[in-house]
Amino acid sequence: MLIDTYGRVATDLRVSLTDRCNLRCTYCMPEEGLQWLAKPDLLTDDEIVRLIDIAVRTLGVTEVRFTGGEPLLRPGLVGIVERVAALAPRPQMSLTTNGIGLRRTAPALKAAGLDRVNVSLDTLRPDVFKTLTRRDRHKDVLEGLEAARDAGLTPVKVNSVLMPGLNENEAPDLLAWAVEHDYELRFIEQMPLDAQHGWKRDGMVTAGDILTSLRTRFELTPEGQDERGSAPAERWLVDGGPHRVGVIASVTRPFCSACDRTRLTADGQVRTCLFAREETDLRAALRSGAPDEEIARIWRLAMWGKKAGAGLDDPSFVQPDRPMSAIGG
């Protein structure tokens, strides 16, 4: 298993399939994009499947989330999903995406064995979407969400980040829309993972702000810690249920003590935390011919050194060198 010195056990693996993205969200990267990883530096499809196999067969991983960048840009995505679905034991599989390519790929992903999707959508207004993402693709995301729901990739979860001066007042409208379309909405506090290092804590929209806004229109009933488990989102029943809304308060209400995640970057590095500045190289071990047992040993050792928390409440916190697009959400 992947246990650390604080007794936490990682069973949830986040796999970044690419650092590339077809949006330029202001809270993630500059308008001109980033210096993408060279193709030889990326893990191959075979390498990704081998590492996931080691994780589920030897290290106790039970859930795999494919992320990016934008994972739908990975040419071999459907094949990777199909091969991971054939592993024993079979992990639960999900995908975090911006939704732009879902209308075309949702049926194939479902047929390959994907269980569900998380789609990022921060606004219901096309003009605000264009300002936030620097791309005019709002309609594509809405169509992708519908395609995912129709394909059975459920529950379809929608992730929204609220930004001051842009969409900070949209929380009630987003929730009403999500309830109408049978999506599960989750608000995520803006995190310090932008490439341009422009994040400022004193200007962010907090979980408290979001809940205050939602309660102007909805009755929210806490779901409770027993239901939450190690999930990052605190959830509330909306007007008595059955619909729920979640808030991931990574900054103001850290949940590090219950973290059960391990992360694999697109170039084969283990990250113990989204905000970690250290990485452990598995790609070199793979390509030098190391057996599965040695790779598992390196992975265990990396996770054993996981820190107690992300340190966002520490005044000396230093933002990670890699932006969110290169780490995976």
How far apart are the C-alpha atoms of 210 and 188, rounded to whole Å?
10
14 among the known binding-site residues?
Answer: yes
Q: 133, 101, 140, 99: which is closest to 117 by C-alpha?
A: 99
Q: Please give the angle made by the CA atoms of 233, 71 and 302, to the nearest 5 degrees.
A: 65
Does 261 appear as a known binding residue?
A: yes
Does 28 show up as a binding residue in the annotation? Answer: yes
- Compute CA 231 distance to the chain's CA centroid, rounded to the nearest angstrom: 12
Alpha carbon separation from 52 to 90, 136, 245, 301, 312 (Å, rounded): 10, 35, 31, 17, 30
Q: Which residues contact 303 (CB under 8 A, 6 or more apart)?
A: 2, 3, 4, 10, 262, 270, 272
Whether 50 has a binding-site annotation, put simply, is no
Q: Is 90 annotated as a binding residue?
A: no
Q: Report the C-alpha dihedral over residues 145, 151, 157, 162, rounded to 10 degrees.
A: -10
| Residue 201 annotated as lining a ligand binding site | no
Check whether 325 is labelled as a binding-site residue: no
Instruction: Consult the annotation and say whether 21 binds a ligand.
Output: yes
67 labelled binding-site residue: no
Whether residue 272 contacts residue 299, with contact meaning beta carbons closer than 8 Å, is answered with no
Q: Check whether 273 is labelled as a binding-site residue.
A: yes
Would the annotation count 157 as a binding residue? yes
Q: Find out whether the peptide bond into 155 is cis, omega within 30 degrees of 0.
A: yes
Q: How far, in Å, are 98, 185, 292 from residue 112 at the CA level?
A: 20, 25, 26
Is residue 65 annotated as involved in ligand binding?
yes
Whether residue 289 is annotated as binding a ligand: the answer is no
* Token digits of residue 80: 């990777």
163-186 residues labelled b (16+ CB within 10 A) or e (exposed)? beebbeebbeebbbbbbeeebbbb
| Residue stretches of the annotated binding site for GTP | 14, 65, 96, 157, 261-263
Residues in the annotated binding site: 14, 21, 25, 27-28, 65, 69, 96, 120, 157, 191, 256, 259, 261-263, 273
Binding-site residue numbers for S-adenosyl-L-methionine are: 27, 69, 120, 191
Residue set of the binding site for [4Fe-4S] cluster: 21, 25, 28, 256, 259, 273
